[in-house]
Structure 1
Amino acid sequence: MRTAALSPPAPLLRANLPPWLVVAIACLASFMVVMDGSIVNVALPAMQRDLHLSPEAQQWVIDAYLLSFGGCMLLAARAGDLYGRRPVLQAGLVLFTIASLAGGLARDAGLLLAARAAQGLGAAVLATSSMTLVMAATHHDKQARASALSWWAALNSAGFALGVVIGGMLTEGAGWRWVMFVNVPIGLLLSAGVACSLLPPRAQATRPALDLPGALLSTLGSAALVYGITQSTTQGWGSPAVLGALVLALGAFLLFLRAERRSEQPLVRLAIFQVPGLAAGNLLMLCLGGLLAASIYLISSTLQQGAGYSPRETGLAMLPMGVALAAVRLLFTRSIGAGASRRLPLWGALVAAAGLAWLAQMPPQPAFWVDVLGPTLATGAGLGMVILAATHAVSAGVPVHDAGMASGLANTARQLGGALGVAALATLLHSVVQAQPESAGPQAALLAGSHAAFLAASGLALLCGLISLRLTPRA
């Protein structure tokens, strides 16, 4: 593999502006993207009634977003490295904001699905650019980077929980269209902030060319993998469509690795995995993405369908979990940034596994303080410890010119892990439900499936703990 010479990084901020301003912009952009992922889920029934969506179209409201989001992650991340943080971030903000407005104005399923696909592409840019901005603005100070990444990760966690709460309130109050419109003022505010604070990229005599073969192959492989995973919940893992998509993904990824070895400006410079802890950190991020997304899905569906909670009540019940996720990350920031508490992710995995095993005992009429609040707090606190270590591991020691590449790898791992985790545990849940005798009743059958899925999630948390032992002291 040949690599072109790299010039020193250009200044990122305008003169006399503090780095925390970039961190604040990055955190708010990431919060908007994460919130959008959960806020739309709550509004799906209202969308279905208003636009007369078929069950397939209703599923594609989620899948169209996931396909473009997961498929374009590496491409979006590398574009920021090559063409500048500011223009790429501004393009992502404009696309996401316009797509949100179009989705809110949609009068039929076709326009809504097109808007969701465009939102996913914009979200891929924002998700990778936000983490890259944090890494680039704090590359000079290891402790500052750890602290900034903790704030970035904490707001990610808050976005998951608050998205459910805000989605429920907006849907029941103003209507489902406002779960899309709410992104418009935030996007406009962020666009103004980027224009006022970030410098445009410096002029280059010869601008590096984007690795188009690698971009096409990574996008095709990621999109095929996400498609196969998401369709497995409705068509089954053995269906021709799912198997064909997974085979296509495997072939595309193998060709991608071959193309990257030969490229002068690879989308993913394979030597980056020589950075200590990066490979283990991305594997941990993959498992954590699946664990976090599946946990939120399982808790939400069990509370609404098994315990009879409304969307608003479900959001409020899950809010303490999001608060615990964010609080733990901020609490242990200094020790992680200083290289201390090497066993913190292991202890966090054990706490999360205990919380998920506790949820596997949920009775048909759960008492909130014992059966919901206690286990979700334990799950949130435990996952917060592990995610903090994983986020630091995928960024520690990465050169500033590879920040976008590292961010793309981490976000791709998290996104694909989330799709795989939800699909696998949802399949397990439905399999157990269908295996229950007819005399059990729908609620008892659902609880049995949820119990099995929560136990499987607990096992995945233990696997995360084992992987965390591979993280190096530097991470």
Structure 2
Amino acid sequence: MTENSVALDNPGTKNPDGSPSGPAPRTGLALAVILTCQLMVVLDSAVVTIALPDIQRTLHFSTVGLSWVQNAYMLAFGGLLLLGGRTGDIFGRRKTFIYGVGLFTIASLVGGLANSSGLLLVARAAQGLGAAVAAPSTLALIITTYQDATKRARAIALYSTVTGAGAAIGLILGGVLTTEASWRWVFFINVPFGVAVVLLTPLVIREPERIRGRLDIPGALTATAGTVALVYGFIRAASNGWGDGAAIGSLVAAVVLLVGFVLIEARTQQPLVPLGLLAQRTRGGSYLALLLVAASMFGMFFFLTQYLQNVLGYSPLRAGFAFLPFAVFMFVGAAVVQPLVAKLGGVAVLIAGTVLVGVGLLWLTQVGAGTSYAGGVLGPVVLFGLGGGFAFVPLSLAILGGVPPEDSGTASGILQATQQVGGSLGTAVLVTFFNTAVRHPGGQISLNPLLEARRALSHGVDVTMGVSAAFAAGALLLILALIRLPRPDAAAPSAVEEVDQTAAVG
């Protein structure tokens, strides 16, 4: 038994830096606390989407200003994830987790009470900051809480399911809260859960061993500025088109800053992001594949929501519940993915998941103004749920496998930053294709303006789903070319066992 495993088994021991190791971990409650935080973070963007029209009427937002209710959160969250991950590694993952959730909860309360557009935007940015501080510690705390390989893999599967299904759950919850109560409750709903997480975390989660070191300030500044510029460039391009000067300038600045960041990290003894994490073939390929899968999935939610409401005439509440099969089958996929990985291997399951997502996207290229939900939408939504469940878990295992424990928070931060940047990139690219397609719908011209508008929007959705399918195809090629996971036989450890052997506590 190692020194660190002894520390885990004896509640009275302390970590090497003198901090208390805390109470014996209650893995079930610990996982519930961690997943509650992750669900709050990932559904926050979607849950607000449904409420935007009511927010605009109440606080008198302009159309451009309203977009920043979403953008302020995405910008702070996506831009600060890397810094949040390394901060947790150095200053304590449980501590930063609590502080991040606390800030997110307070900002949610302020957002719900906001009586002006400016105050709401400040609250949204503060929510993003809190999420960026808390979110990278979620996966790291799962790794350090679960010592058993099988239980850890099951926990990671649930984490991936919550992450993937969060958008669908957010749409459903947003529709219910906005319709039955008020838009303010899409913010207030976070408060009781946030308070519970802050109070329970010290009781059920131990503080993992910290890294002795200093924060890489030059790396933190260039990484944060570069990521913020990148996310802002994508957001700006999605709103104003790829010819917008501010979007181009922001993306150019992002490239310069991120190249500078790489040069700094290569020469720093204690880098913000150890470049070796990205240089390993399987992990680097997994990050790239995740980027493309996220781009395709974010686009699906964004445009399918518009199709349901503007073409099929669904109310916000009904549109939210239309995604319920996605969430259900994500959980079904998570329930069966672990035995499938053990039997077939992680790469085979990952390929199957990516193919299911791609087939669902291709299926959606056939929707039209007269397509019914059951005839053209339900099937793809089911495939997305199963495909997402099959894809996200092996990707998470491939990324976390072999990560030194002192870098687990950083690896988790990069994982979530990849998802956010992938979603922003995908949305920006797809909006460009959508706008072009809507302006040139083709086909027979109708004298009915409403029917013509529905046909044009349907054509735009067809085109964007085709581009999203191309993203999924790119992810599939990366998986086939770069990702190698151990085969499920007795001679080689499984991907789950690899995570257990290489990502143990301290």
1:170-193: CA deviation from partner (whole Å, max 9, x where unpaired): 111111000000000000000011
Are residue 416 (structure 1) and residue 421 (structure 2) matched?
A: yes
Label 1:378 to 1:339 Cα distance change in 2 as closer, same or farther (>3 A): closer
Residues of 2 paired with 1:152 and 1:14: CA distance? 23
1:13 and 1:198 in contact (8 A); partners too: no
Q: Which amino acid is the alignment partner of residue 42 of structure 2?
A: V
Q: CA deviation at 1:471?
A: 1.3
1:157 and 1:326 in contact (8 A); partners too: no
Are residue 142 (structure 1) and residue 155 (structure 2) matched?
A: no
The counterpart of 1:215, out of the listed 213, 217, 220, is: 220
C-alpha RMSD over aligned residues: 2.1
Label 1:292 to 1:203 Cα distance change in 2 as closer, same or farther (>3 A): closer
Are residue 51 (structure 1) and residue 59 (structure 2) matched?
A: yes
Q: CA deviation at 1:79?
A: 0.5
| Aligned twin of 1:305 | 310
| SS of aligned partner of 2:183 | coil
Q: CA deviation at 1:301?
A: 1.1
1:92 and 1:123 in contact (8 A); partners too: yes
Residues of 2 paired with 1:221 and 1:394: CA distance? 23
| Aligned twin of 2:492 | none
User: 1:364-443 counterparts in 2 under 5 A?
Assistant: 364-436=369-441, 439=445, 441-443=452-454
Q: Which amino acid is the alignment partner of residue 163 of structure 2?
A: N
> Equivalent pairs: percent with the same residue?
36
2:78 and 2:227 in contact (8 A); partners too: yes
> TM-score, with normalisation over the residues of structure 2?
0.88
2:21 and 2:207 in contact (8 A); partners too: no
1:321-378: CA deviation from partner (whole Å, max 9, x where unpaired): 1221222122112333677253222222222211111111113133222212112111
Q: CA deviation at 1:37?
A: 1.6
1:234-275: CA deviation from partner (whole Å, max 9, x where unpaired): 221122101100000000001101111122211001122355
| SS of aligned partner of 2:347 | coil
Structure 1: give runs of 5+ residues left out of the alignment. Answer: 1-6
Q: CA deviation at 1:87?
A: 1.4
Are residue 124 (structure 1) and residue 132 (structure 2) matched?
A: yes
Q: Which moved more, 1:267-276 or 1:44-53?
A: 267-276
1:171 and 1:178 in contact (8 A); partners too: yes
2:90 and 2:210 in contact (8 A); partners too: no
Residues of 2 paired with 1:246 and 1:368: CA distance? 38
Are residue 472 (structure 1) and residue 484 (structure 2) matched?
A: yes
| Aligned twin of 1:257 | 262
Label 1:84 to 1:101 Cα distance change in 2 as closer, same or farther (>3 A): same
Are residue 448 (structure 1) and residue 448 (structure 2) matched?
A: no
Q: Which amino acid is the alignment partner of residue 392 of structure 2?
A: I
Q: Which moved more, 1:397-406 or 1:363-372?
A: 363-372
User: 1:284-363 counterparts in 2 under 5 A?
Assistant: 284-336=289-341, 340-363=345-368
Residues of 1 paired with 2:255 and 2:179: CA distance? 43
Label 1:171 to 1:343 Cα distance change in 2 as closer, same or farther (>3 A): same
Residues of 2 paired with 1:313 and 1:78: CA distance? 41
Q: CA deviation at 1:202?
A: 7.0
Task: Report the count of equivalent residues.
Answer: 466
The counterpart of 1:21, out of the listed 12, 29, 36, is: 29
Q: Which amino acid is the alignment partner of residue 45 of structure 2?
A: G
Residues of 2 paired with 1:236 and 1:341: CA distance? 39
Residues of 1 paired with 2:218 and 2:464: CA distance? 39
Residues of 1 paired with 2:300 and 2:68: CA distance? 21
| Aligned twin of 2:200 | 193
Q: Which moved more, 1:280-289 or 1:151-160?
A: 151-160
| Aligned twin of 2:252 | 247
1:249-304: CA deviation from partner (whole Å, max 9, x where unpaired): 00000110111112221100112235562111111111122111111112111111
| SS of aligned partner of 1:299 | helix
Residues of 2 paired with 1:12 and 1:444: CA distance? 63
Label 1:171 to 1:366 Cα distance change in 2 as closer, same or farther (>3 A): same
| Aligned twin of 2:78 | 70
Q: CA deviation at 1:151?
A: 0.8
Are residue 229 (structure 1) and residue 234 (structure 2) matched?
A: yes
1:395-428: CA deviation from partner (whole Å, max 9, x where unpaired): 1121211110110111111110010111111221
Q: Which moved more, 1:115-124 or 1:148-157?
A: 148-157
| Aligned twin of 1:88 | 96
Q: Which amino acid is the alignment partner of residue 410 of structure 1?
A: L
> TM-score, with normalisation over the residues of structure 1?
0.93
Q: Which amino acid is the alignment partner of residue 96 of structure 1?
A: F
2:363 and 2:380 in contact (8 A); partners too: yes
Structure 2: give runs of 5+ residues left out of the alignment. Answer: 1-14, 447-451, 487-494, 496-506
